Amino acid sequence: MSNEWHGGKGSKSRTTKHKSFRDGYDKIKKSKPIYEFRSNRIILQGDTHDMDVTWKIIYNKVPSGSDYLHLGDIGVGFGERELAIPRCLTWLATIDELCKSLNVRAFFIRGNHDATYPEIWESKWSNVFLIEDHAYANFPNGKKAILLAGGLSVDRCTRVENVDYWKGEPTKEIKFVDKCDFAFTHDCPEHFNHSTSSLHNNFQWAVDKDPTLIEECIKQRGVVTDIMARAEVKAIHYAHMHNNTVEYIDGVYARCVNINELFEFDSNKEYKE
């Protein structure tokens, strides 16, 4: 991994109605941050499931001056809420200090194995940026990306709500989607990696215990599929699936970044199979 990075007109009534609509639209648009990457290359991180592991990877493997994007399942907020929130905020402060010392900017997308508490996701740091829902980011070369959070835990029937599973984990629907070149997401569209129907092969025990699992997984993947289609992205990098699958389907490249894996993404590169 390179160490040379340096981060990153009609009637009045119609007019009134149009202005009201535009004001509402602009409010929605402005509510989501637009980040500016410092370089045309960023480091992508697959699931780590533990904030200590995340800290160690940044410390040992992320070059100084880079922008680092964690694709979700960071390990945020596990445990009883009253203890989990302060512990997580302490970890975020520690990671923020590390990133400041390395001139690294860390972007954390919420995965399904991350708590959904606003006390965490609305916290502000100098070098750590938290994406609980979705956001956009621009590269210096003018390319644009959507950053999309959320997923669904197929083993939720074995988990404890608000300890290691949160009902707000799925990807949220987006009313207005900007056209983008790339997507960095936790989950992926239905037609990439293994489909929801494959749960019958690998997680039949979970399907048997969780009667709405298949239906909700179909909805989850459908939301991601719809957002990616409306964004018209040509390359999707995601995590969640715990493998290294690379696919090129209907003109869209998709790569899964595996557990604890780092991947250098170059926005100047045309990704194909």
Q: Which are the contacts of 102, defined by CB distance < 8 A and separation ≥ 6?
A: 58, 62, 64, 65
Local confidence band at 266 (pLDDT 50, 70, 90 cut-offs):
very high
Q: Mean pLDDT throughout 82-101?
A: 98
Higher pLDDT pick, 44 / 9: 44
CA nearest neighbour of 45 among 120, 112, 108: 108
Asked if residue 157 has pLDDT above 50, the reply is: yes
Return d(Cα 181, Cα 146) in angstroms, integer.
Answer: 8
DSSP one-letter code for 66: -
Local confidence band at 194 (pLDDT 50, 70, 90 cut-offs):
confident
Dump pLDDT digits (tens) for 239-256. Answer: 999 999 999 999 999 999
pLDDT value, residue 35: 98
Return d(Cα 138, Cα 183) in angstroms, integer.
Answer: 11
Query: Which ranges constitute the DSSP H helices of the chain?
Result: 12-31, 51-61, 81-102, 118-121, 199-202, 204-209, 213-231
Dump pLDDT digits (tens) for 206-249. Answer: 999 999 999 999 999 999 999 999 999 999 999 999 999 999 99
Asked if residue 18 has pLDDT above 60, the reply is: no
Quickly count: other Cβ atoms within 10 Å of residue 22's Cβ: 11
Higher pLDDT pick, 198 / 6: 198
CA 269 to chain centre: 21
Dump pLDDT digits (tens) for 30-72. Answer: 457 899 999 999 999 999 999 999 999 999 999 999 999 999 9
Return d(Cα 184, Cα 96) in angstroms, integer.
Answer: 21
Asked if residue 272 has pLDDT above 70, the reply is: yes
